[in-house]
Amino acid sequence: MNFYLKSKNIKFVIVVIPLNYQVDEELRQSFIKNNLEDEKFDMRQPQESILEWAQKNSVAAIDLMPELSKLEKEDDLYWKLNAHFNAKGNEAVGN
């Protein structure tokens, strides 16, 4: 795919979007309690794997987790019943 995009002079960029429980501390604690009781889990592992792959393959990648983690403290960015962005989340990512 990268070869095709380069042949068309199109830059390939991956945007790594965290799940709601990765940026919301309350949801994270609930997720851990309900799913990982006695296990250690690195919430950044999925992002780190993707970013490592992108770097090795010379693909630009944008990790939204650090910024969304800051913003989530002020506003709810995801719908309560699913892990999709609500209007505030879409606005935050668009900015």
Would you tell me the crossing angle of helices 65-72 and 87-94 to the nearest 10 degrees? 130
Reported as a single tens digit per residue, the pLDDT across 8-29 is 999 899 999 998 888 887 877 8
DSSP state of 76: -
Q: Residue 84 has what DSSP assignment?
A: S
Q: What is the pTM of this model?
A: 0.77
What rounded mean pLDDT belongs to the chain? 85
d(CA 63, CA 47): 7
Provide the residue type at 47 as one letter.
Answer: Q
Nearest to 47 by CA among 68, 74, 71, 76: 68
